[in-house]
């Protein structure tokens, strides 16, 4: 009967998480109280805390789940022959997945700029989410056979990850209908990013590449 118990437990946890996300979507993160979350999930406040040690912990759980959900969805689109296609597909999958939560994601990213906050995408707590992202970009590079200069190889996935984070930030702010502006920006910028990567292999542009690399190294050091 242990299995049944565990299942029940997971179910309750899920119920609370769902209730929380629903309220976050409707009213925002800060505006939602744990009491309301518990009420919505039809459990006692204390129980919500039994499963999630804090309100922030719920958000972490959401990230974690997103990571797990996205894995297969991204694997599915890792098929394009061209790097540009891959980038577009990978990022679009994420936008699609997060779309229902776009508005309150903004409130969460609020914490993102705060170096001390555990919800920051740069913080330790979200490291495996970031690791998975990096791996996906690395895979897109290798599987499309994109030629990358040796000195850049180690850095490029991280640069692409930052490019992605920038787009996501823009997307959160994007008030245009259906976030069309983000869609246009994604297309135009992906084209440029790929062009730049290709250019970076030209021997003639070696000095320029070194300059950029210097910047990247300072950032990552």
Out of DNA, its own copies, none, which partner does residue 71 contact, by CB within 5 to 8 A per kind? none
Choices 8-16, 48-56, 78-86, 181-189 (CB under 8 A): range interacting with its own copies: 181-189
Out of DNA, its own copies, none, which partner does residue 215 contact, by CB within 5 to 8 A per kind? its own copies
Choices 5-13, 41-49, 111-119, 126-134 (CB under 8 A): range interacting with its own copies: 111-119
Out of its own copies, DNA, none, which partner does residue 219 contact, by CB within 5 to 8 A per kind? its own copies
In this structure, the number of other CB atoms found within 10 A of the CB of residue 109 comes to 17
Out of DNA, its own copies, none, which partner does residue 28 contact, by CB within 5 to 8 A per kind? its own copies
Report d(CA 34, CA 44) in Å as an integer. 10
Question: How many CA within 13 A on the CB side of residue 114?
Answer: 9
Nearest to DNA of 9, 180 (CB atom): 9
Regarding 95 and contact with its own copies (CB under 8 A), the answer is: no
Report d(CA 32, CA 17) in Å as an integer. 13
Please list the helix, strand and coil fractions of the chain in percent, rounded to the nearest 5, in that order.
80, 0, 20
Residues in contact with 123: Cβ distance below 8 Å, sequence separation at least 6, in sequence order: 115, 117
Report d(CA 83, CA 195) in Å as an integer. 10
CB of 41 to its own copies, least distance (A): 25
Q: Which of 14, 22, 36, 151 is close enough to bind DNA by CB under 7 A?
A: 36
Report d(CA 108, CA 120) in Å as an integer. 8
Give 174: exposed, middle or buried? Use CB within 10 Å, 0-12, 13-18, 19+: middle
Residues engaged in binding its own copies (CB under 8 A): 28, 103, 106-107, 109-117, 122, 169-170, 172-173, 175, 181, 184-185, 188-189, 191-192, 195, 211-212, 214-215, 218-219, 221
């Amino acid at each position: 009967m242990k299995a049944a118990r565990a299942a029940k437990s997971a179910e309750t946890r899920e119920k609370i998480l769902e209730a929380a996300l629903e309220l976050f979507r409707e009213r925002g993160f800060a505006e939602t109280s744990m009491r309301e979350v518990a009420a919505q999930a039809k459990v006692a406040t204390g129980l919500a805390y039994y499963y999630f040690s804090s309100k922030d912990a719920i958000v972490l759980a959401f990230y974690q789940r997103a990571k797990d959900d996205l894995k297969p969805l991204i694997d599915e689109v890792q098929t394009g022959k061209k790097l540009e296609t891959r980038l577009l597909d990978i990022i679009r999958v994420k936008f699609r997945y997060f779309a229902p939560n776009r508005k309150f994601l903004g409130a969460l990213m609020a914490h993102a700029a705060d170096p001390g906050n555990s919800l920051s995408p740069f913080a330790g707590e979200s490291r495996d989410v970031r690791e998975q992202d990096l791996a996906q970009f690395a895979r897109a590079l290798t599987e499309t056979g994109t030629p990358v200069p040796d000195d850049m190889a180690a850095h490029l996935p991280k640069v692409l990850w930052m490019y992605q984070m920038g787009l996501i930030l823009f997307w959160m702010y994007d008030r245009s209908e259906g976030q069309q502006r983000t869609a246009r920006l994604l297309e135009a910028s992906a084209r440029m990013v790929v062009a730049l990567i290709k250019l970076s292999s030209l021997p003639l542009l070696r000095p320029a590449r070194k300059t950029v690399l210097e910047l990247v190294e300072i950032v990552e050091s």
